[in-house]
A and B are shown apart, each in its own frame.
Chain A
């Protein structure tokens, strides 16, 4: 994703949570002067305290932390400071971890192999309130929402509004999984970039709010490692 100037002009304030010091300094240098890194933490408890203290725009959050999952940081912060947004950043392939952080409230998920420019772009998007899906997350979501659940389950808790993707959302997710940028998706589907973003945000909302049992079970079943 080619880095475009931030809409507001101001640099987003970023907080990094990761237990590897080397990785934190790597991200810091990759983000360079495109963003304003206001703090770092290496575990759940200090992260919660420091985020409450400096109130960044975006928290880059490692999914795995020694003192617990990244979702604990999201849950603890969200109640008091809803304006702080989270972008999950992980080397983990385990969908259950990723889905857990997203469902806790993170606005997106990217893998640690992402390039510096793309990371800056993702941070800007999350700061602006959009959702950021990596190809992998798009694949997870397509998979989780693919098959209709077993009959019994469907009777109990099937809400078409939340538990199903629209065909258009599906198309958008497929293109993300194929490695397309939002801009390329817009061109491919003859829609505006804003529409693409609204589709992705809608998918994110469904992912966070769906009570679909299958989502959890699917994530557990698809443990890859």
Chain B
């Protein structure tokens, strides 16, 4: 077995996951199911473009290109999702309501969030609307929304009603005392408080976490926890708050225009002093949480890869412990594959191997099948040429045919012959095994032959399978060369 240089791993090479199933469909299935994992693994990294799934600016670890990203964002007219509306965990800043709405109506999530915040500041309507949406939109993976659950929660309803009525009384008293501005936010606050209570009692654990984070400053105020700095902050804030409110309420005295403004300023300063550290912490927590999610996805990706490659090989090594030569072959092949994955960033199934030629591809098939199935592959190539999509398909079909011969024929050796001619490339896979009657093949083998046929036919080649029971099987594959140059109208594939 010739040891080739550490080559790239092109698409036809299948995946190492395919080592134990000769069935093509399964191999492709594995490859397909692996790729979304890879795609989502990159989600946590900030990147430009509409795919950047509504990560809040504060949640991004990199701030340098913030403006670039904001300028390049597609603000409206994004593709709208269909299907039931769901609040997704990955997209949420608070409860994922904005992201859910954004995905449905095709407007950027930042726009929606801004609208909620503005509406929340102008009379509190945004806050109430957000809480109601939170109640009505089911979380991802949940059957029903929180409101449906809350209707069965008697104690929760009673608590909410109590809290709501208490708030209403407080607001009535406040407005009676002359603070008429309270009326404008009262209903929103009542609705929000009632809604949050119901959510608190009926939401799953991970949403509890969100609420707990939101309620933290209140808990700090109540708990005290003996931290001097916290007390100083609260006392200072309360002082400013009182002064501000007093200035506001008696706004009609000396400087009629300046005083309300000064009062408002003091109120805002008070709120910032009180809540600023908490906001910072929330932002930091969000970054950490996002990073943790990214790590978890990377971990899952790596686990899938290791399962497909290293664990499979270890299992094979255990089964063949008595055959040192094969164990060495397996270990060497696995090492090569793992190294190229770890250090060159090439995962199996990746289709970027500019240096690989047809002869190199045939050699890789030989090495892989010999390593995985412990049979001899007598590989012979005549001539050589660069690989393109068509020839990659040819090699993929050849690999399947070889693996199949290794698994089913029972023969100790398989002959693999490829010849590059000026007009076409021909490839033969022959075994001297038990063969089969093409007229009476069981379904699985027929399916395989058809998948080889279909794959080759899609690229303009032809495939024939000749088999005689007791004498062996030969799969002949033919692929015309330079098909694109001969048919200029054919769209170039990527």
Contacts and interface: CB of A to CB of B under 8 A. Distances in A.
B382 A178 contact: no
A178 B430 contact: yes
Interface string B400-414: 000000000000110
Nearest to B431: A179
Given A113-B376, A142-B382, A146-B382, A179 B415 contact: yes
Given A115-B412, A178-B428, A136 B2 contact: no
A214 B380 CA distance: 20
B430 A174 contact: no
Given A178-B474, A179-B432, A139 B412 contact: no
B382 A139 contact: yes
Interface string A149-182: 0000000000000000000000000100111100
A111 B382 CA distance: 18
B162 to A, nearest CB: 85
A142 B2 CA distance: 20
B419 A142 contact: yes
B383 A143 contact: yes
Contact of B415 (A93, A142, A178, A224): A178
Contacts of A146: 382-383
A135 B3 contact: no
A146 B383 CA distance: 8
Interface string B419-437: 1000000001010100000
Given A177-B417, A179-B417, A225-B2, A136 B380 contact: yes
Contact of A177 (B376, B380, B412, B432): B380
A60 B417 CA distance: 26
A137 to B, nearest CB: 9
B329 interface: no
B415 A174 contact: no
B378 interface: yes
A138 interface: yes
Contacts of A142: 382, 419
A179 B382 CA distance: 14
Nearest to B421: A146
Interface in A100-136: 111, 113, 115, 134-136
A138 B380 contact: yes
Contacts of B2: 93, 224-225
Q: On chain A, which size bracket covers the interface?
A: 10 to 19
Interface string A193-220: 0000000000000000000000000000
A123 B372 CA distance: 32
Contacts of A180: 430
Contacts of A111: 378
Nearest to B422: A147
A135 B412 contact: no
B381 interface: yes
Interface residues of B, number: 17
A136 B378 contact: yes
A135 B382 contact: no
A143 B417 contact: no
Contacts of B378: 111, 113, 134-136, 179
Given A146-B382, A178-B430, A179-B432, A139 B417 contact: yes
A179 B474 CA distance: 10
Given A113-B376, A135-B417, A139-B417, A177 B382 contact: yes
Nearest to A180: B430
B417 A178 contact: yes
Nearest to B420: A146
Nearest to A115: B412
Nearest to A145: B382
Contacts of B382: 139, 142-143, 146, 177
A93 B3 CA distance: 10
Contacts of A136: 378, 380
Nearest to B476: A178
Interface in B371-406: 376, 378, 380-383
Contact of A225 (B3, B412, B417, B430): B3
Contacts of B412: 115
Interface in A12-50: none
B432 A174 contact: no
A164 B378 CA distance: 26
B376 A139 contact: no
A215 to B, nearest CB: 14
A214 to B, nearest CB: 13
Contact of A179 (B381, B383, B419, B430): B430
A220 to B, nearest CB: 15
Contact of B380 (A113, A115, A135): A135
A139 B415 contact: no
A178 B3 CA distance: 22
A148 to B, nearest CB: 12
A139 B3 contact: no
A139 B430 contact: no
A134, A139, A146, A178 pick with most chain B CB within 10 angstroms: A178
A99 B167 CA distance: 98
Contacts of B428: 178-179
Contact of B419 (A93, A134, A174): A174
Contacts of A113: 376, 378, 413
Interface string B348-388: 00000000000000000000000000001010111100000
Contacts of B380: 135-136, 138-139, 177
A178 B381 CA distance: 10
A225 B417 CA distance: 19
A135 B383 contact: no
A132 B430 CA distance: 20
10 contacts: A115-B412, A135-B417, A136-B380, A138-B380, A139-B380, A139-B381, A142-B419, A178-B415, A179-B428, A225-B3
Given A113-B413, A115-B413, A138-B380, 11 more contacts: A115-B412, A135-B415, A139-B380, A143-B381, A143-B383, A177-B380, A177-B382, A178-B474, A179-B378, A179-B417, A179-B432
